[in-house]
Amino acid sequence: MSNYHIKHLEEYYQVYRKSVREPENFWEEVAEEHFLWRKKWDKVLSWDFSKPEIKWFEGAKLNITENCIDRHLATRGDKTAILFEPNNPEESAEHITYKQLYERVNKMANVLKDQGIKKGDRVCIYVPMIPELAIAVLACARIGAIHSVVFAGFSSTALSTRINDSDCKMVITADGSFRGNKTIDLKGIVDEALESCSGIESVLVVKRIDSDINMKEGRDTWLQPLLDKASTECPAEIMDAEDPLFILYTSGSTGQPKGMVHTTAGYMVYTAYSFKNAFQYRENDVYWCTADIGWITGHSYIIYGPLANGATSVLFEGVPHYPDFGRFWDIIDKHQVNQFYTAPTAIRALAKQGSELVDKYDLSSIKVLGSVGEPINEEAWHWYNDIVGKNKSPIIDTWWQTETGAIMITPIPFVTPTKPTYATLPFIGVQPALINDAGEELKGNQVEGKLCIKFPWPSMARTIWRNHKRYKETYFSTYKDMYFTGDGALRDEVGYYRITGRVDDVIIVSGHNLGTAPIEDAVNEHPAVAESAIVGFPHEIKGTALYGYVTLKETGEGRIHDNVRKEINQLITDRIGPIAKLDKIQFTQGLPKTRSGKIMRRILRKIAEKDTSNLGDTSTLLNPECVQNIIDEAL
Ligand code: PRX
């Protein structure tokens, strides 16, 4: 029996049990059977969560691009690897075969080498959703450079913070990007960011929108002429299993973004295995994940997981509402997509448009529907299931994180019976635990607690870039010998998991992780602001949106307030990006505080949720009188 493709529930339990009882044997068999190694490992796993130190396939040598590209050439050379669908539906789609991908990645890898990039160097990739983004990622992996992709919707400040944190030597970017009927001046953002990044030696620029941009002499170079001259052969750098593959930043509840470090072999094995099983991908299926490669979902399930399986992966440049809200359905119809993976926020926005637009297109190719990034509410689940999936395509509600590298809790389609709003069962090899407030593991079913993982899995992040202490504190210090996810969850009567949401100060807005502290820092930069507190509140489309309570140094009203509101959101856009803008800003006389001066966010959250019936005991506050004022003036 091959461990690779799970076909029925009994088999799931059987494979799952094996993966838990004999994890080393299990993952060794998967690794042996399905990947290309330059040298096999000396040891499958060594781990110690108290340090924490985790190593998978120690001693093994490989290059992930040989697994994602080279080894497919003999049998799938002419098969489409990346199917690029441009923003403009009039522009034709581009089918990049495995052979072409091989050539383009090697050319790019040679350009990087010519520019002085070596194994272990960090390269920042700030490129929109065009083939060059995936090619740049793979080219870094080809030569052992560590890629740090920054979502091309982040502001110049967010970009420079990330570039400096990981000491990148190079930025790969584009002149600009298309988003619906707008263009974005990416190069201008990069120029601004680089004013405070002294470590950047070169900038390679992809021509996408053909805009008139500034090229800095000695630093900036157009990419295409370099590619034209480069060779299509670039030998793969042979990497150790635990060599870093990439850094990807994620928000924390406090401080700077965390540069999660993923390493090579374990990440490859687990993303490939999970891709094949979680999506039940079959040869010749067309798979589409709508995420941006700037997020972990795009890394693992547009690039590495699908390509390691020799799949056809759609890469879409545009947005769901351009030229109209039927675009996703149009693309599914046009390319006969078989697996479709998107986020609840998109599903809610599309559901709002009704079913007519969906019905205009032939969606009969769809076999599996996926959801990721935030809890999917019941209404959205049913719309997705009934209207898009026509009740025949199972929804996999996949729970995971930047830190986990790949899917952790999910139904396996056609194997695990689904249940609305439940991510259902742990994926193979994943050992979740629910922990109560006393720090004890809750055994049995029908329990609710903090979600932890008890045992290492191959694709877990190994550290935070140059901040192992923070890695330990954030994930391994809350509960002894466990990885703490920051999420709450419940386990129902049959052992299915439902994720209930974050239990820390991270807020998930439209599926994007946002820490409250950096947003508050941006708000507090406004000269009129004395202090602020940001909380989440339920939002029809975004799932959760941001509510800011702001105390001004001097009270103002009317027009002054309107101006300050605009300026605050502009500051947030400049410091972080438009995704972190506040939907509501309430000006307050003061914020409720504990006697030690800590803002009581719990109370502010309830007021923002319009649930003021049970605010708990407020008499112990330093300033209980402000609560009623805030309630009276709530938006
Ligand atoms: O709170 C969980 C939520 O998204 C967080 C991870 O965000 P990020 O690192 O940006 O990765 C998102 C894509 C993998 C989690 O801690 N989350 C993600 N998927 C789900 C979810 N919450 C509920 N259900 C999900 N399926």
DSSP one-letter code for 88 = S
User: What's the pLDDT at 153?
Assistant: 93
* 372 CB within 6 A, ligand 1: yes
* Band of residue 168 on the pLDDT scale cut at 50, 70, 90: very high
- Characterise 622 by phi-psi region: left (phi > 0), alpha (psi -120 to 50), beta (else): alpha
Given this model, what pLDDT does residue 72 score? Answer: 98
529-539 β-sheet, strand order: 529-539, 543-552, 584-588
The mean pLDDT of 530-535, rounded to a whole number, is 94
DSSP-assigned states of every residue in 195-236:
TT-TT--EEEEE-SS-------TTTEEEHHHHHHHS-S--PP
Residue type at 3 in one-letter notation: N
Q: What burial letters (b/e) apply to 600-624, b meaning 16+ CB within 10 Å? A: bbebbbbbbeeeeeeeeeeeebeee
CATH label, 506-633, candidates 3.30.2090.10, 3.30.300.30, 3.30.1330.40, 3.20.20.80: 3.30.300.30
Given the CA of residue 250, which atom of ligand 1 is nearest to it?
Answer: 9
For the whole model, what pTM was predicted? 0.94
Residue length of the chain: 635
* Contact status, residue 480 vs residue 500, Cβ threshold 8 Å: no
Which pLDDT does position 556 carry in this prediction?
Answer: 66
Residue recorded with tokens 């390269």: 123
How many CA atoms lie less than 13 Å away from 457 in the CB half-sphere?
Answer: 29
CA distances from 1 to 9, 22, 415, 456 (A): 15, 16, 17, 25
The band of 555, judged by pLDDT with boundaries at 50, 70 and 90, is: confident
Q: Which residue puts its alpha carbon closest to atom 3 of ligand 1?
A: 374
Report pLDDT for 292.
97
pLDDT tens for each residue of 410-430: 999 999 999 999 999 999 999
Q: Is 400 in the pocket of ligand 1 (CB under 6 A)?
A: yes
Helices and strands (H, E) in the chain, number of each type: 21, 30
pLDDT of residue 484: 98
Ligand 1 nearest atom to the CA of residue 295, by list position: 10
User: What percentage of the chain exceeds 90 in pLDDT?
Assistant: 91
Residue from 499, 506, 579 to probe ligand 1 pocket by mutation (most atoms less than 8 Å from CB): 499
Query: CA triplet 22, 24, 30: central angle to 5 degrees?
Result: 105
Task: Specify the residue with its C-alpha closest to ligand 1, atom 5.
Answer: 401
Whether residue 271 has its Cβ less than 6 Å from ligand 1: no
Look at 374-378, 563-567, 598-602 and tell me which has the smallest mean pLDDT: 598-602
What CA–CA distance (Å, rounded) separates 239 from 243?
A: 6
Pairing of strands 312-316, 286-289: parallel
Euclidean distance between CA atoms 552 and 550, whole angstroms:
6
* DSSP symbol at 257: P
HEC per residue, 271-336: HHHHHHHHCCCCCCCEEEECCCCCCHHHHHHHHHHHHHCCCEEEEECCCCCCCCCCHHHHHHHHHC
Average pLDDT over residues 534-540: 95
> What number does the ligand 1 atom closest to the CA of 409 have?
26
Cβ–ligand 1 contact at 374 (below 6 Å): yes
- Of 177-181, 600-604, 630-634, where does the model show the most confidence? 177-181
Q: What angle do CA 598, 604, 605 make, to 5 degrees?
A: 115
| 410 CA closest ligand 1 atom index | 26
pLDDT on residue 1: 37
Strands 61-62 and 53-58: unpaired
Out of 249, 258, 401, 425, mutate this one to test ligand 1's pocket (max ligand atoms within 8 Å of CB): namely 401
Alpha carbons within 13 angstroms on the beta-carbon side of residue 166 total: 33
User: Mean pLDDT over residues 131-136, rounded?
Assistant: 98
The terminus-to-terminus CA distance of the chain in angstroms comes to: 60
Burial of 452 (0-12, 13-18, 19+ CB in 10 A): buried
Report the pLDDT value the prediction gives residue 558, as an integer from 0 to 100: 66
Q: Give the burial class of 631: count Cβ atoms within 10 A of its Cβ; 0-12 exposed, 13-18 middle, 19 or more buried.
A: middle
> Which tens digit of pLDDT belongs to each residue from 27-85?
999 999 999 999 999 999 999 999 999 999 999 999 999 999 999 999 999 999 999 99
Give the pLDDT confidence of 381-411 residue by residue, as tens digits.
999 999 999 999 999 999 999 999 999 999 9
223 close to ligand 1 (CB < 6 Angstrom):
no
- Looking at this protein, which amino acid is placed at residue 528? A
Q: What is the distance in A from the centroid of ligand 1 to the CA of 569?
A: 25
Which residue CA neighbors atom 22 of ligand 1 most closely? Answer: 374
Q: Is the CB of 502 under 6 A from ligand 1?
A: yes
Q: For the chain, give every domain's residue range.
A: 65-238+248-430, 506-633
pLDDT at 287: 98
Residue 508 CA to ligand 1 centre (angstroms): 8
In the chain, the percentage of residues whose pLDDT exceeds 70 is 99
What is the pLDDT averaged over residues 594-601? 84
Contacts of residue 24, Cβ cutoff 8 Å, sequence gap at least 6: 44, 45
The fold of 65-238+248-430 is Rossmann fold (3.40.50)
CA torsion through residues 521, 319, 87, 311, sign: positive
Ligand 1 pocket residue status of 513, Cβ below 6 Å: yes
Residue pair 226/195 in contact (Cβ under 8 Å)? The answer is no
The tens digit of pLDDT for each residue in 506-516 reads 999 999 999 89
Q: Stretch 562-590: mean pLDDT, rounded? A: 95
CB 342 less than 6 A from any atom of ligand 1: no
Ligand 1 center from residue 457 Cα (angstroms) = 17
Contact between 129 and 229 under an 8 Å Cβ cutoff? The reply is no
Using CB atoms within 10 A of its CB, is residue 217 exposed (0-12), middle (13-18) or buried (19+)? exposed
Eight-class DSSP state of 172: E
The pLDDT of residue 3 is: 55
Going from the Cα of 482 to the center of ligand 1, the distance in angstroms, rounded, reads: 19
- Closest residue CA from atom 25 of ligand 1: 399
Dist. CA 132 → ligand 1 center (Å): 27
**Residue 30 confidence (pLDDT):** 97
Report the sign of the C-alpha dihedral through residues 39, 305, 31, 262, in that order. Answer: positive
- Looking at residue 185, the DSSP 8-state letter turns out to be -
513 Cα nearest atom in ligand 1:
10
The pLDDT assigned to 559 comes to 67
* CB of residue 292 inside a 6 A radius of ligand 1: no
Q: For residue 296, what are its two tokens? A: 């972990």
Residue among 399, 421, 484, 509 whose CB has most ligand 1 atoms within 8 A, to mutate: 399
Which single residue is written with the structure tokens 């769901």? 320
Q: Mutate which of 508, 509, 514, 542 to test ligand 1's pocket (most atoms within 8 Å of Cβ)? A: 508
Greatest pairwise CA separation for the chain in angstroms: 74
Q: How confident is the model at residue 557 (pLDDT cuts 50, 70, 90)?
A: low
Q: For 299-352, how does the pLDDT look when each residue is reduced to its tens digit (9 = 90+)?
A: 999 999 999 999 999 999 999 999 999 999 999 999 999 999 999 999 999 999
For atom 18 of ligand 1, the residue with the nearest CA is 373
How confident is the model over 189-245, as pLDDT tens digits?
Answer: 999 999 999 999 999 999 999 999 999 999 999 999 999 999 999 999 999 999 999
pLDDT reported for residue 293: 98
For ligand 1, atom 10, name the residue with the nearest CA.
Answer: 513
For residue 185, the tally of other CB atoms under 10 A from its CB is: 15
Structure confidence at residue 37 (pLDDT):
98
Which pLDDT does position 272 carry in this prediction?
98
